[in-house]
Amino acid sequence: MADLWVEVDLDAVKHNYRQITSVLTTGSKVMAVVKGDCYGLGAVEVSKSLQEEGCKDFAVTTVDEALVLRENGIEETILVLGPSGPQEWPKAIENKIQLTVSQLDWILILEKIANEIGAEVKVQLKVETGMGRTGFNETIIEDLGKALHNAPHIVVEGIYTHFARAAQRDHTYTRIQHDKYQSIINRLEELGVNISQKHVCNSAAFLDYPQYHYDMVRIGTLLGGHFPTISFRDKLDLRDPWKAKARIVHIQKVTKGTFVGYQSIYKAKTDTTLAVIAVGYADGFGVEPRFIPQGIIDLAKIIIKNIAALWRIQLGQERIIFKGKSIRIAGKVGMQLTVLDVGDLECSLGDEVEIPLRRTLANPRIFRFYKKNKKIIRMRIIKEGFLSVNTEYSNSTNI
């Protein structure tokens, strides 16, 4: 019996996929972006359930991620979005993985490798229009056209760009990026480069610009049941497939005034019950990315929170769900233990609580249960950081 585990509801992922396709412009299709182990949900499991929904296009960041999908029976298109290197290309070509090309000198080497293997390599061109990350910018389009002419083994399947401010709904900036993209395509076509597939939308752009859906949209965030920001939340009915749970492993009744945890940051305001769960920052719990304040109001909030902490008042702290009620974390989260102030709620050893564990930060060693049709179909454990034990479940409903 695990004291800490994650449940991933694959039916919720499928539901989200159907929500997305229901508002997709005719003629376009969804490329499922399952990079970063599908934002922590599990790339193999999510891709397999999307296959069942008819999804035929997948994208990841690295060749290694693409190979994991291939080894696990994903036979559809897999596009590598990020930069890759010549040492990985033979394997990518053999496994029919599409590469993104975004540097001129790669074309010469890739052509040489494909020629030696005697196979065509399908690629997508990435163009840089305002993200400032990877891609060909407009000043080298002539050279790009020439290089592609001299590379008969390289087949350009598509051309894409990535929007930097779609989630902020900065329509002016997004339009400028789009217009740059369009003018680069026009120039390439004049140079005789034939491109069959156009795609520009991530989740945010997909929701705001149906006219930009073109041949494909690249969706990650929405599949996982999240919106790019809460301003989009009315646009689709999404379900969150992710639940992290912990069991109570220690209970203690204490009197008013009891201090809790490192630095005694928490002090019980009444007689109460303290329950301990076995989760901490070694599991990725309570580790928040350091945000840059987005404007003066955000900055003010951070200052107020810190001033309140001087009087041991914890403002805006995330709560934990126990028996349908929201309860407080008492004090600082530890390495592998966290204390909860359950007040006068009845609690027993072994009771389950739901915890706000971020999917992208959750330690991969945590037990995973994948659910489909309300049954557990698969368990995933990674031991010692490298050994992966996957157990297929058939009929089990219990954890």
Active site residue ranges: 35, 262
- When asked if residue 198 is in the footprint of ligand PLP (CB under 6 A), the reply is no
Q: Yes or no: say if 107 and 151 are a contact pair by the CB < 8 Å rule.
A: yes
Closest Cα partner for 50 from 18, 96, 97, 25? 18
- Closest to ligand PLP by CB, 166 vs 248, is 166
What are 238's two structure tokens? 């999404």
- Closest to ligand PLP by CB, 33 vs 248, is 33
DSSP code, position 127 = B
Closest separation between CB of residue 194 and ligand PLP, Å? 22
- When asked if residue 202 is in the footprint of ligand PLP (CB under 6 A), the reply is yes
d(CA 79, CA 122): 9
**Judged by CB under 6 A, which of 48, 178, 198, 218 binds ligand PLP?**
218
Of 134-193, binders to ligand PLP (CB under 6 A) are 162
Q: Yes or no: say if 323 and 342 are a contact pair by the CB < 8 Å rule.
A: no
**Judged by CB under 6 A, which of 46, 67, 207, 219 binds ligand PLP?**
219
- Closest to ligand PLP by CB, 82 vs 343, is 82
d(CA 20, CA 37): 20
Closest Cα partner for 81 from 33, 26, 49? 33
- When asked if residue 50 is in the footprint of ligand PLP (CB under 6 A), the reply is no
Of 256-295, binders to ligand PLP (CB under 6 A) are none
Burial 49-73 (b: 16+ CB within 10 A, else e): bbbeeebebbbbbbbebbbbbbeee
Closest separation between CB of residue 348 and ligand PLP, Å? 40
Closest separation between CB of residue 310 and ligand PLP, Å? 38
- Scanning 19-27, 212-220, 260-268, 305-313 for contacts with ligand PLP by CB under 6 A, the matching segment is 212-220
- Closest to ligand PLP by CB, 199 vs 378, is 199
Q: Yes or no: say if 89 and 68 are a contact pair by the CB < 8 Å rule.
A: no
Q: How many residues bind ligand PLP (CB under 6 A)?
A: 12
DSSP code, position 312 = T
Residues forming contacts to ligand PLP in the complex (CB under 6 A) are 33, 35, 81, 162, 202-204, 218-221, 228
